[in-house]
Chains A and B, each alone.
Chain A
Amino acid sequence: MRKSIIQRLLLTFVFSLAVTMSAILFISDRRLRVIIDESQNQLYRDKLDMIWLELMIDESRLEITGLREAYEKDFQNSALKELRNTFYRDILKGIYPFIIDTDQNILLHPNLSGTKASEELMSQIGRVLENSSGDFNASYEGIEKWYVYKRFEPWDWVICYGVPLREKYGDLYSFRQIQIAIVLIFSCILIFLITLLLIRILKPVKELTAASIAMAEGEWSPGISINRQDELGILAGSFNAMQNSIHEKMEDLTRARSFISDIIDSMPSAIISLDSLGRITMMNETARELLNTHGDIPDETLLWEAFSVFEGERNTIIKSLTENIIQEISSIQFKGPSSYYETVIYPLENSSGAVLRIDDVSQKKKMEEQMTQFQKMDALGQLVGGVAHDFNNMLGGVIAAADLLKSGLSENDQNRQLVDLILDASGRASDLVSNLMSFSRKTVKEFEPADLHSIIYRTVSILKRTLDRKIGISIVDEAEHTVFSGAEAKIENLIMNMAINASHAMPTGGLLTIRTKNTFLDEYYCSQSPFNIKAGRYIEMQIRDTGSGIDPEILDRIFEPFFTTKKTGKGTGLGLSSVFGTVQEHNGAISVYSEPGTGTVFHVYLPCEEKEMENNSETRDLTWSGDAVVLLVDDEEIIRKTATMILNEMGMTVLTAVDGMDALKVFRDNNIDLVITDMIMPRMGGRELVCELRKLSPGLKIVVSSGFTKEDDLEELKHQGINSFIQKPFTMDELALLMKDIFS
């Protein structure tokens, strides 16, 4: 049992007090006994001397008579009578003088006068006959007495006093009782006062102790209020300062840990730390998501035992841990063959373990593959262009020769039909070559400002006559700046090709939507794009169908020349490759987003005509800044990164989540002003997320972002209370306009 400092001090004080008081009592008792012995000795010797003097006076008077024989007995009796009258009238406390002669006759005694001293008496006091004076202690009739005596030589008498010790030391005993009572009372008062004093003095210490214990147990006290000017006051002040300092440090540490944890958790890389034996010590959220584990991992669990996916690289990991070298692993398949992950093992210093960083490089791989495809197509274009050019030249000769030959034939000449066949075949071959040359960008650039809306409306009027009537065509011309530098015919061909491809994807009918809008492609977007485009304002043209969609496995190949999914003879496989070439020729870009069973949307970006833009630049202010907290929800890392950069540029604080469930967690832990969410995500999509967020915060601003969303879906989401919609991929201008609309 823990003893308080008050108990310890009190016990020490009481013990010291008891020892001191006992010593004082003992010493004073001894000293008083000596004093009483001396005073009693003096007192009774004076009494004896007084009796002795009385007897001596009688002796002198007896001597004066000159007749000792005649008067001696009378004088002695007279003396005894006088003594009896003097001392036996009132015998106090059993103390009286008595006289005994050398013949052991008791001459003077309250009860025994005239008798012979008993053997018992003489055995106790017989020594009085041996000396002229003295004193001793003896017990007579059960009473301890102090005997003091003096011999009266002339008559051979011994004068004695027997003083009971209880009387002799009566004052001592009384004094001792008083002293003990005083000491006890004094001690009690002193202990009481000391206790009060200690409680008063140590109350701050107790408070300090309680506060220290509370602090040690992790509880935070508001501080100790001790208004004293002594050391305890200073100690309390220092303690408060220390506590505040520790508290601030703890808060800083907690914030730092939370910050670091947030950083680690928000990192797109999966982070797993291991100890020197390969046991898991920490995993971030990305790692848990990747490894599909959300509970606590038991302590001292080895990585390869917890997750079998690492079993194959066990030796590599152990080697990195033991030899302290960085290892890269790219062979671990975390999510099927179409995903690619890069795992790097960074050993920690002092061989205290290692950190595994696992990155999803699927997008990177895809980009690399796209780049490779682009390069292949570029090379193919060069080849096709060269062949087409030569072939076109040769075909020109054939046509020219056929025209010449035809002009020399009469209308009825049977050969004229043969020449027309040559010219017809050459014409079709020329169109084919023209397409090949478009893909290879070998056509002559005769660019001039053109209005995209005019081209679209003109082309759509043709399409409406040529496409199946089951296919509806819709134009949403939202772009304000529609002038670009290019060849109208090529863009007409581009729209025609894409519309025809779309109609082929909708054999039973559907909706073809052509939407335009202006957008700004920033440096990052441009740097990530496989096309050679520059940052700036673009006209975005979306061509969307509601067809069967494109199989993802062939999505990367649709722009290859002669690649077709149609039956032989049904298509040349040059439609989309021609589109690809036209886009490149106009310094634009094209991307495709398709969901099998839902449809496909192509995004064509054409750079705005700068002159025209300059003339209209003052009409819209596309800059905006704010300090809101935005939660960006998207499973595409590239979207999260680009959007985060754009929003940060605006001054926003951006938190990210990879899906709806992750978003809900982040939303609960933070104060969010705006949520921008994708629609199609793993685990929890945008629709469910919007429902959940509305339950949590009915007034929350929500924007849906999607690359492909049906109009019906948008209407439904607007009904659920979303504030706006933004098409992916979005640009800085688009986001700025969105933020302006939302927060204004």
Chain B
Amino acid sequence: MNSSTVRKPVFLFILTIILFTGCSEKEEARVNESLPSASSAKEKILYIDSYNLDFPWVQGITRGILDTLEISMDSEENLDNSRSSYEMKIYHMKTKRNPSEEAIHGAVKEVLALIDQWNPDAIIISDDNAAKYLVVPHLMDSEIPIVFCGINWDASVYGFPTENITGMVEINLIDSMVEELKKYSKGDRIGYIRDNTITSRKESENYEKLLGTAIVKRFPTTISQWKEDFLTLQEETDIILVGYPNALEDWDGSTDVYQDFLREKTEVPTGSWDLWTSSWVLMSFALVAEEQGEYAASTALRILNGESPGNIPVVRNKISMVYLNMGMAKKLGIIFPMELIERSHLIGDWLDE
């Protein structure tokens, strides 16, 4: 048998494979054209945010959800789920930016229309407004499972959990922080200062419940009142819990006014639960927004995998991020133990600047 007689069948075999492959690809393309895309066959998750993506907290929750679902998002908020087994859409209700009843109801209507149209397999909501304006009035009896996160302190106020609703509540780890601050304070009296909002008042009440002791509270409405209330609290208490005063009437959005004041006037250990106030106070036990998002997404996946939401209890957050303001510590003459330092972020000595 000569070589040409061997090459001929091999050539025909290769040609057949090429033609078959080409036909298969054309067939597959026709299927794609006639049927919904492969991505549409993926299970769909709708994430409804009460606010908008400008807030770092929202960004953290969103990041936690996207990372868990292996979905990426570019700077223009376009989602890429090519690596993920799920398809996702995000809707921001922007209730902080547009707090009017009309705007909120408009957002709710859009969400409901989206749900009808897109028919998601699971819904994640974050923060209280989504629960309050969307779920409670419209989706309590929905067959679509709902996972919430970022709901402050107590979800039961919305009737959660139900057979089809579960999630994680957001509770500041204020008790741990107060225990640490007490190591450097002269006494056990605790003060609380934040802008005059329902959230602040409700928050302070929750702290009292959590700590099991009375707290001296101040809810100023202006910056000067805030400064005056702080100085008063220093006189009246041994530890001051400083909330982020973003609702003061005359606040222009710059934190320098609070930072400069507190760095200069602080004389007692101060603490905060917001990352944004960590450079003003001695220490901060900040919540980790990603924890909320990661839990909500992973719980949604558990439900999509067949677990009943009613069998998944509501949980509270457990992770905190400790920030130690070494400049404030130096000013107050406090030396932290290495155990604390080793697990904390240090905020630089600003005293020499």
Contacts and interface: CB of A to CB of B under 8 A. Distances in A.
Interface of A: 61, 64-67, 70-71, 74-75, 77-78
Interface string B315-353: 000000000001101100001001001100011110110
Q: Is the interface of A mostly helix, strand, loop or mixed?
A: helix
B279 to A, nearest CB: 12
B341 A66 contact: no
B351 A67 contact: no
Rank and list the top 5 A-B pairs by shortest CB-CB distance, nearest first: A66-B349, A64-B346, A74-B338, A64-B348, A65-B326
Contact of B342 (A64, A67, A78): A78
Contacts of B327: 66
Contacts of A61: 341, 346
Nearest to A77: B338
B40 to A, nearest CB: 46
A67 B335 CA distance: 9
Given A65-B346, A65-B349, A74-B338, 14 more contacts: A61-B341, A64-B326, A64-B347, A64-B348, A65-B329, A65-B341, A66-B326, A66-B330, A66-B352, A71-B335, A75-B338, A77-B338, A78-B338, A78-B342
B326 to A, nearest CB: 5
A444 to B, nearest CB: 110
Contacts of A70: 335
A67 B349 CA distance: 9
11 contacts: A61-B346, A64-B326, A64-B346, A64-B348, A65-B329, A65-B330, A65-B346, A65-B349, A66-B348, A67-B326, A78-B341
A70 B335 CA distance: 8
B44 to A, nearest CB: 43
Contacts of A65: 326, 329-330, 341, 346, 349
A74 B342 CA distance: 10
A67 B330 contact: yes
Contacts of B349: 64-67
Contacts of B351: 66
A65 B325 CA distance: 9
Contacts of A78: 338, 341-342
Contacts of A77: 338
B49 to A, nearest CB: 35
A32 B292 CA distance: 52
B348 to A, nearest CB: 5
A291 to B, nearest CB: 79
Interface of B: 326-327, 329-330, 335, 338, 341-342, 346-349, 351-352
Nearest to A75: B338
A71 B326 CA distance: 11
A440 B231 CA distance: 204
A56 to B, nearest CB: 14
Contacts of A67: 326, 330, 335, 349
Contacts of A74: 338, 341
B341 A71 contact: yes
A67 B348 CA distance: 11
A65 B348 CA distance: 6
Most buried by A among B335, B341, B351: B341
A74 B337 CA distance: 9
B269 to A, nearest CB: 17
Contacts of A71: 335, 338, 341
B340 to A, nearest CB: 11
Nearest to B350: A66
Nearest to B337: A74
A74 B335 CA distance: 11
B238 to A, nearest CB: 23
A288 B44 CA distance: 130
Contacts of B338: 71, 74-75, 77-78
B350 to A, nearest CB: 9
A61 B329 CA distance: 14
Most buried by B among A61, A70, A75: A61
Nearest to B352: A66
Contacts of B341: 61, 65, 71, 74, 78
A474 to B, nearest CB: 99
A61 B352 CA distance: 16
Nearest to B338: A74
B72 to A, nearest CB: 29
Most buried by A among B329, B346, B351: B346
A64 B326 CA distance: 7
Contacts of B348: 64, 66
A67 B351 CA distance: 11
Contacts of B335: 67, 70-71
Contacts of B342: 78
A78 B341 CA distance: 10
B322 to A, nearest CB: 13
A666 B328 CA distance: 145
Contacts of B352: 66
A64 B335 CA distance: 13
Contacts of B326: 64-67
A84 to B, nearest CB: 14
Nearest to B339: A78
A66 B341 CA distance: 13
Contacts of B329: 65
A119 to B, nearest CB: 34
A158 B252 CA distance: 52
A420 B344 CA distance: 205
B197 to A, nearest CB: 34
A61 B346 CA distance: 7
A214 B125 CA distance: 106
A73 to B, nearest CB: 10
Contacts of A64: 326, 346-349
B324 to A, nearest CB: 9
A71 B352 CA distance: 17
Nearest to B347: A64
Nearest to B327: A66
A552 to B, nearest CB: 96
Nearest to A60: B346
A605 B352 CA distance: 175
